Every structure is written in C-alpha cells, then in structure tokens.
Amino acid sequence: LTSAQSHRFVVSGVYELGGEIESTQAYVSLDYLADLLELGSAVSGVRIQVNNVFNAASITRDLGFAQEQYLYINDWTRTQGHLYQDIQ
C-alpha cells in the first residue's frame, strides 16, 4: 500500500467523542488490513497497556532502549497530544 494507492471501504458506523480523535481514527478488520498490506502473519507493531496512563511515555521509552534493534516508539501523549494537553 503506497500513498498513490486508494481503496474503498464501507462505513458501518460512526462515533463521536466530542474531540479531534474521531477525525483521525478509523477501525478495520485486522485480517483485512494485513491482507491489504501483504503482511501475512508478520508483526508490525505492539501495543501495551499500563496501569497509569501518565507513565506511558517513560515506560515505552525504557522498553525501547532495552531492545537491540531499531524501533519506532510512540505513546498516547504523542499520538493524542491534544487530549493529553486537555487533561493537563
């Protein structure tokens, strides 16, 4: 899948949370997307759950630095910065 390709999806539902998050999020079947991206059974990301969401940045940073290979690390304070700022 490249930026030059386009695909059609059937919208089966819409949600509103009253913020910017719903304007940038879409949910599709994991199997469908893996097939579309030709991933097969390869892992392209890992998501972790933490008990204290405000520790997410330091936890992901520590986990990333503990790995031997290059990783792209992201946490909710970066992807949802506007929401993080609202909470602060």
Q: Is 51 helix (H, G, I), strand (E, B) or coil?
A: coil
Q: Is the pLDDT of residue 59 over 70?
A: yes
In one-letter notation, the amino acid at residue 43 is V
What is the residue extent of each domain of the chain?
21-87
Higher pLDDT, 20 or 74: 74
Per-residue pLDDT averaged across 35-58, rounded?
A: 84
Q: Could you tell me the two tokens for 72?
A: 């792209």
In one-letter notation, the amino acid at residue 7 is H
Higher pLDDT, 65 or 80: 65
Instruction: Look at the block and give the residue holding tokens 């204290």.
Output: 52
> Is residue 57 a contact partner of residue 28, using CB atoms and an 8 Å limit?
no
Q: Is the pLDDT of residue 1 over 90?
A: no
Q: Is the pLDDT of residue 42 over 90?
A: no
Per-residue pLDDT averaged across 4-8, rounded?
A: 78
Q: pTM for the full model?
A: 0.50
38, containing H or E segment: none
Q: Is the pLDDT of residue 21 over 60?
A: yes
Q: Is the pLDDT of residue 3 over 60?
A: no
